[in-house]
Amino acid sequence: MAIVSARYRSNCLNRFVTFTAVLPFEEYGEEYFNPNQEAFTDDTPMKTLYLLHGITGDEVDWLYGTRIAAYAEEKKIAVIMPDGGNSFYFDHYYAEKWGEFIGRELVQATRSMFHLSRKREDTYIGGLSMGGFGALRNGLKYSETFSKIISLSGALVTQDLPAREYGKDWMETEEFYERTFGDLNKIKGSDLDLEKLYLEHGKDTEIFMAIGTEDFLLEKNRRYKTFLQEQKAKLHYLEEPGTHEWDFWDRNIRRGMEWLLEK
């Protein structure tokens, strides 16, 4: 296994971006060979999970918060973790196309750098909290890229906007939502509307959702789960005791990765 930190100039974001990659590899050359595993070949490139962090996080959050590196090696799947800032992973304006960056550019860039499969059925997206929203939003919008989505404790906040009530915490104020999403009255029917995105793009996409029963985002996830079930979506939905914390995400990213690789 290798853990790689990379930096390149993004055309979608008009600046340099960073990401961390976990790459299982078995062949170390003729002199250094790991006898416990089989080498990837040109005929068997790596399946890939693009994994998004939550708000206030960065490209190494998953490494420090979970055993994602061990799971990637165990499952023989590459994991690409970009720094997404506090963007919610959608296109803000012409100079910051976060959605296109995640859904197209980063995938193309990493495929050119590493020995990754170019097949849709081998390419997945996941995330926690804000990253769970980003995984659903971009996994659906760019369904030609991703075949499966993992959303853990997804911050599915756009389904409730404009809200009748806002909180006092900086991430719950009306000002925060307006700065992040723009005109809140225009979300319904836009490409921030997860129901619209599913109806337009998601019929062939499989979705894994997990949420803790003590998580403050529980009801938002339940509502989207109900919508998906009504649409007869290919949905695996899990609730179990837990809050908005790393122990829950560690358990469920492993479950999610097992689900990704089911035949």
Domain-wise residue ranges, the chain: 2-260
87, pLDDT greater than 70: yes
Least confident piece of the model among 65-69, 84-88, 159-163: 159-163
Give 159's pLDDT tier (boundaries 50, 70, 90). Answer: confident
Domain 2-260: what homologous superfamily?
A: Alpha/Beta hydrolase fold, catalytic domain (3.40.50.1820)
pLDDT at res. 163: 74
pLDDT at res. 182: 82
Least confident piece of the model among 74-83, 158-167, 175-184: 158-167
Give 161's pLDDT tier (boundaries 50, 70, 90). Answer: confident
pLDDT at res. 246: 98
81, pLDDT greater than 90: yes
pLDDT at res. 33: 55
Query: Considering the chain, what is the average pLDDT of its residues?
Result: 91
Q: What is the mean pLDDT of the segment spanning 110-126?
A: 97
- Token pair 């595993």 is found at 37
pLDDT at res. 185: 86
Tell me the pTM: 0.93
pLDDT at res. 178: 84
CA distance linking residue 147 with residue 150, whole number of Å: 11
29, pLDDT greater than 60: no
pLDDT at res. 244: 97
pLDDT at res. 205: 98
Least confident piece of the model among 22-26, 87-91, 226-230: 22-26
Q: Where are the alpha helices (DSSP H) in 98-192?
A: 98-100, 106-113, 130-141, 174-181
Contacts of residue 164, defined as CB under 8 A and 6 or more positions apart, other chains included, come to none
pLDDT at res. 26: 64
Per-residue pLDDT reduced to its tens digit, 180-232: 888 888 889 999 999 999 999 999 999 999 999 999 999 999 999 999 999 99
DSSP E strands in the chain: the ranges are 2-10, 15-23, 47-52, 77-82, 91-93, 96-97, 123-128, 148-152, 206-212, 234-240
pLDDT at res. 179: 82
pLDDT at res. 162: 78
CA distance linking residue 167 with residue 38, whole number of Å: 53
Per-residue pLDDT reduced to its tens digit, 130-156: 999 999 999 999 999 999 999 999 999
User: By three-state DSSP, how is residue 67 classified?
Assistant: coil
Surface-to-core class of residue 60, CB atoms within 10 Å of its CB (0-12 exposed, 13-18 middle, 19+ buried): middle
Spacing of C-alpha 239 from chain mean position: 19
Least confident piece of the model among 50-64, 88-102, 157-171: 157-171
